[in-house]
Structure 1
Amino acid sequence: MLFDANEQVPFALPPQPYVPTHDWEKTLLIRDLSVIEDVGRTNVWSNASGTCEMIGNPNGEWSFQTLMEDIANPARTGVDLHDFVTHWILRWNTTHDVRGDVLPASVQGVNELWYDNVFSGWPKLAPGTGNYDDILDMTKAPFRLVAIVNRLDLRRGVAYGGSTGELRFVFEMIDPATCGSRPFNLILEYEVPLGSCEEARDWGTLWYELDSYALGDPDLSAKLSDITTRITTRDVAPGRPNGSALLSLRTNEQFMAWPHYPDRNWDMRAFTLDGDSGYLEPSALDRTPAGPWEVPDATTGEAPIDAFISSNLTAILDGTHWVEPTWNGHAPFQGGHAGYGQVACWISPCTSPGNHTEDRGRWWGTASSGTTRDQRAARHRFSLATCNGCHGREGIDDATVGVSVPLATPDQPFRHVEGHGPGTAATLSRFLTGTHGGCHPSTNLLVPPLGTNDCADGCCPVGDPVHGYESDQVHFADLLRRQADLDALVYSSCLMSLTSDHEPTTH
């Protein structure tokens, strides 16, 4: 059974035998260092000289500075790049009410990023008075590009004037003193504002043609640059805030939460452009309820989200459910952020791990919830559609809580794309690369136990976090699904697409 990796509804594995006609490393998720560390197109953190330094082109089309300046679009908005970026950072300095869900402040985390402690602080052009009034050096932003991602599979309603999916840039945080990677991913998510089937197919063909270039060929970077700048350049979306095609800036990090307890306090937030001010402001997460909904009742063991799942069973199974700001008179229902390894403080002040109870963002419910396979499948699909479910134990074998199937290779928590600092390509979760090597499930539902459960020959599904791998297991291979989707689009008839809708997803 396959699910989309990012805000997730289920998709079946491609029919067998499916042999991809293109390499996803060049057409869907580009992480090769010849592209990611192309010093003509971006500035690159490097420790090749023995010291950590920034090299390359800070004005390149893939640099943090250029991408953010095009989003800010000062000529149109009057918003200076420095003000734009620092305003975003300082959103962590105060609490924010996002549709009723209160996002906690993290003053210590802001201090860590802005100044220094364990982290070396953002490089500065001019010091301030210690009140966040320093001039930060945008040419040396502590972020390193780790992947350029084609999410054409997220297209919606192209036959009726929708969009052609997304283009994403994934950055990791880098310590400017050591070039060490920090647990902070920053993802720029752009909408591809092309509406017709023909435009979608042409857009897909541009990506598909990248397969004809070898990894390391400078022409691959040049062609990719031509594709991406069509979307990232300022004023490409004149009807949207700032004239930018940016949908959201998403963070997925363990850095801002304080104090830094091992394997705890991961948090995901989204920021969107405010149409009036032109700045980035916190926004709600798709398909992810507010945190209190996932905490089972201490007395009864009942999970409050069960009522929503039961009431929306058909829509959840169809992948068409949505999470609104309120539900059944309850608010907030939609989450303004998603935690994983997040902990609830039950003794004030929160000064040590012993003063916390753990909440890992599983949307598990209880082992007794769901007495039919449909209900169990609905719980699973609902959980996988949440940010913290997909990035948590529902979609990966988290190394911090133990694997779900004996002998499974554990994934690192909460990141499907993980950077490792300069000179090293990002690693990907098995959710993306596949759990089904050596086997292929014959069903698009939760697969039954596969017998030996020993992960032989790469056949290593993820066990259900509620009922255990003995009861239910799930296979993922999202890049394979995306390969099949791109193949189908490039070789499709747009006449056919007018009568067959592309199945929706949100991640």
Structure 2
Amino acid sequence: DEDPTQPRPDPTEPGPEFGGPDFQVESVSGPSALGTGELRVRARLCNEGGGAGSTEASFFLTPASGPGTNEILLATSNRLSLRSGECREVSASVSARSVPEGSYFLSARVDPDGVATETREDNNVRLGNTVRVDRTPPETPAPAWTQAEIGRLRRLTLHTESGATVRVYEGPNCYGQEVASTVAGSNNYCEVPIDVPTTPGATYSARAYDDLGNGSPCSPTVDYPYGDGTPRLAPVLLNTNPGSPGGSPQPTFNGRAEPRVTVELFKNATCQGTAEQTLTTDGAGSFSARFNVARNEKVTVSARAKDSGGYSTPSPCSNPMEYENDGTPPAPPRVTDVKWQYLNSGRQLVVTGTAEPHSTVAIFIDVACTGTPARTVQADAEGRFTATAPFSAGGSHRVFLSAKDASGNVSTCAEGPAYELRCPPGTADCDGRSSNGCEVDLTANPNHCGTCGNSCQDGPYADGVCVAATCGTTCAPGYYDCDGKASNGCESRTVCQPTSTCTIDKPSELMITALSVVEDPVRTAPGGAWHFGTVMRELAGGQDPSPMVRAWLKTWLGKQNVNGLEIPPRPEMQTRVLGPWEARSGGPSAPLDFNSAPFRLLAIINRIDLREQGIQAGEGRFIYGVVDPSGVPLEFTVILEYALPGTTPESIQRWATDWHELGTVKVGNAGYNAKLQALTDRFSKRGVMTGRHEGSALNQIRTNEIELAEPWEMREFILSPLGLMPATTKLTPAMHFENTQLLATYLTENSADVLAERHVVPETFGGFPFLAAHSLVPLDFFWRAPNVSNEVRHKFSLNTCSGCHAGETQTEFVHVAPRSRGAASALSPYLRGTTVTDPMTKSVRTFDDLTRRADDLKALVCAPTAGLKSVGLVPSNLPPARVH
């Protein structure tokens, strides 16, 4: 981990100014076996190049028989920034729910989509340990009762896989409350004591789990035996061959009962009606039966033992077992993006798209889905996939794709876009030579700024520079531009003296909520620079953003898993937001109509106080409020947080000057909005930052709402080739650690860093997933921990999402409130200035964050403190830990 007490590398030194980043995977590690349960994988990423950059790592399984030939994508880590010479660890939560069983290598690839322009690309992949994929669940437990003991206590005996954890539940189908659990011994046997139920008619069921999280089918339901006798064992249906769903029209159902008894099998779930088949178990109690099932239909089977097998009455009914015949091929894959790239390690094809969830997508180059594919990759639970493959030299190439589902059905062949040399956003092939590919960084090259051949002109004692694909100038050392005239460049040899009082106009330079901006009739209208549809189209690489935005909103409709933690669904997203929008757009299968998008601009924000040399010049933000079909604001806000592109002191200083110059025009005056758009275009358009997907500067999207369910909930998303993907909420632990000893241990071990507000909340702590997958914000919530000083508690709570938006600052959940048309958004007292009482000690604390931000900007732009110092740029007054 990084030592915050040590100085960070100075990216203005000659080394980092030459060359780009060179990412590599130093190590990759993970579990030796995977099943359906969630486990963690880790990789250590390093930047051995001369320049800083941001990247991520994807984790794959590749067959042990041919490593690197075919890959199964497991997960992609969160994005991080790496300075030259820096190494950091990333991790992700993975499972093998749809991976074929077998032996694999775990591998990790840094910069998996090839968007970074690196000095080397042949060191981006590393193989790790071998992984055994085992998705076979333990056998269905076979429950039976022992003889009554003293006090009529009964023991439930269960047979299942050795070492499996058996959980016993109240009621049928393993849905009730868990009442007991134990581990099956080496003899595949275990006993669980069950107390006499307090009410009559008690029933129980059981399920077995192996150490990889694979769960067996639920056992037959057993009634509690209130008398002294011992009920006989109900048959247990174990599995089907092939597994369900499958392509066979005659699946075999396998089961177990007592040895040499007669078993009746029924084509229903409850042993009702006339038996379809009758058979006798063998000496071990095993039995098998074959049933017919029509194409694309289901059959459910149950079983019971007859009295002719020694039962005075028929046994209880077995557990039901369902088999589904799947004879329908999946739809062909849909390609959303194809990149044919020249990298310094060779030619690389990157394909992104959607297919049937969990299907295997085969990528073919120059052949129409015949022979051996160049790559195979598995679609995730949402059907999204991305794959890379090399391609050979030549003037033309074509890509074809097919999908195969779990039943072995193969789709028709789909063709993607034909070959074209397409440079990663923010780069270009300016010399026209394919041998060196996309050799120019358009975001920073002063000779090719924004487009090939656009040269940034020098001035007197001023050097032309390119920042975020936009030309500007910076003064040579020892010269200053005091009159602001481009014609005479940096005309002064002495530090500029103020001609008048230098002040920061907060509504014009920091927190822009004026109606003249947020209701600009051109820029906030469909197609305008600040319209929600426009900024989404930029994130989608200039393509129709409907698939990306619809998939993003649908993440609220299903359970999500981030950092090994679950985010429960909030189904009101469909009824309150997505459903009405789809209805206005022509239905759920039609592209979304962004002319009627339910998002209203609330504010444009300057967060240059989030600057970090070598990484970014701060952040620029758009905040939108969600509205209902009639335009009434909902309690739901969305904030898009972009990096201000630029890593050097000069580029950061230029951003500061440009934001400050807005105050000379002042919001509401002619020319202000055009000047503001020229600034926002530099961070909101695609292609402004190399090494990012689509060249976008987006760091993250955060949402805050109570409209869909209680309590208020905050979520975070990052942009990736698979769309807007859920991510952890930074600096905030999972809610169940509130006021726990584990949180107290973390705070005690990191108290010095917490007090200095330079702490990092890790993804895992004490062996548990620690960093939150989402942040719940109950009314007046604040973080506590036993036996921790209140100042440590306060500093920690203040820097969490839930503490800052609730009890620690006495904020009513949002700092920029939703608004009606014609009304400006209200700002929280925390931003405007207020005093509050500490929720624990009742001492008085003062907050005035906009004034703090104004003081920070003033230190950058107002003489005599303004400008670059001999020791570097004026540091931010924001505590180092603060990320939002």
TM-score normalised over the length of structure 1: 0.71
SS at match of 1:281: strand
Corresponding residue to 2:770 among 333, 356, 360: 333
Corresponding residue to 1:143 among 580, 585, 599: 599
> Deviation digits for residues 321-374 of structure 1, max 9, x if unmatched?
001111122x21000110112xxxxxxxxxxxxxxxxx86421346xx44xxxx
Q: Is the 8 A contact 1:122 1:176 kept in 2?
A: no
Corresponding residue to 2:577 among 98, 107, 113: 113
Aligned: 1:87 with 2:551 = yes
1:499/1:273 CA distance change after superposition, 3 Å? closer
Alignment gaps of 5+ in structure 2:
1-500
Q: Is the 8 A contact 2:706 2:712 kept in 1?
A: yes
Matches within 5 A, 1:46-195: 58-74=526-542, 80-116=544-580, 121=581, 124-127=584-587, 132-156=588-612, 158=613, 161-177=614-630, 179-195=631-647
Higher relative contact order (CA 8 A, sep 6+): 1
Q: Is the 8 A contact 2:790 2:840 kept in 1?
A: no
Q: Is the 8 A contact 2:577 2:628 kept in 1?
A: no
Aligned: 1:272 with 2:272 = no
> Deviation digits for residues 221-250 of structure 1, max 9, x if unmatched?
110001000111111123101221111111
Counterpart code for 1:327: F
Matches within 5 A, 1:326-475: 326-329=764-767, 331-341=768-778, 361-365=781-785, 369-370=787-788, 375-396=789-810, 398=811, 413-435=812-834, 461-467=835-841, 469=842, 472-475=843-846
> Deviation digits for residues 93-134 of structure 1, max 9, x if unmatched?
111111112111122332321225xxxx5562312xxxx434
SS at match of 2:809: coil
SS at match of 2:831: helix
The offset of 1:215, in angstroms, is 3.0
**Aligned equivalents of 1:244, 1:123: Cα separation in 2:** 30
> Deviation digits for residues 186-219 of structure 1, max 9, x if unmatched?
0011011211111111111111011112332131
Q: Is the 8 A contact 2:649 2:873 kept in 1?
A: no
- 1:234 alignment counterpart: 686
Corresponding residue to 1:33 among 515, 528, 533: 515
Aligned residues: 378
1:432/1:213 CA distance change after superposition, 3 Å? same
Q: Is the 8 A contact 2:667 2:673 kept in 1?
A: no
**Aligned equivalents of 2:591, 2:691: Cα separation in 1:** 32
1:496/1:293 CA distance change after superposition, 3 Å? farther
1:89/1:187 CA distance change after superposition, 3 Å? same
1:423/1:105 CA distance change after superposition, 3 Å? same
The offset of 1:304, in angstroms, is 4.2
- 1:356 alignment counterpart: none
Counterpart code for 1:41: R
Aligned: 1:282 with 2:681 = no
> Deviation digits for residues 125-180 of structure 1, max 9, x if unmatched?
312xxxx4343211111110010000000011x2xx22111000001111222x21
**Aligned equivalents of 1:431, 1:393: Cα separation in 2:** 11
Q: Is the 8 A contact 1:315 1:321 kept in 2?
A: yes
**Aligned equivalents of 2:687, 2:769: Cα separation in 1:** 35
Alignment gaps of 5+ in structure 1:
1-18, 44-57, 258-263, 297-301, 342-358, 399-412, 436-460
SS at match of 2:823: coil
**Aligned equivalents of 1:34, 1:500: Cα separation in 2:** 33
**Aligned equivalents of 2:819, 2:838: Cα separation in 1:** 29
Counterpart code for 2:853: R
SS at match of 1:173: strand
1:377/1:363 CA distance change after superposition, 3 Å? same
**Aligned equivalents of 2:621, 2:874: Cα separation in 1:** 27
> Deviation digits for residues 484-504 of structure 1, max 9, x if unmatched?
000101243423452864352
SS at match of 1:136: coil
TM-score normalised over the length of structure 2: 0.42
Counterpart code for 1:388: S
**Aligned equivalents of 2:871, 2:629: Cα separation in 1:** 49
Structure 1 segments, 4+ long, off by >4 Å, are none
- 1:318 alignment counterpart: 756
Instruction: Write 1 or 2 for the structure with the bigger share of strand.
Output: 2
Counterpart code for 2:518: I
Q: Is the 8 A contact 1:416 1:429 kept in 2?
A: yes
- 1:495 alignment counterpart: 869
Find the structure with the greater CA-based Rg: 2
RMSD: 1.9
**Aligned equivalents of 1:62, 1:109: Cα separation in 2:** 24
Counterpart code for 1:282: P
**Aligned equivalents of 1:305, 1:499: Cα separation in 2:** 36
Counterpart code for 2:790: R
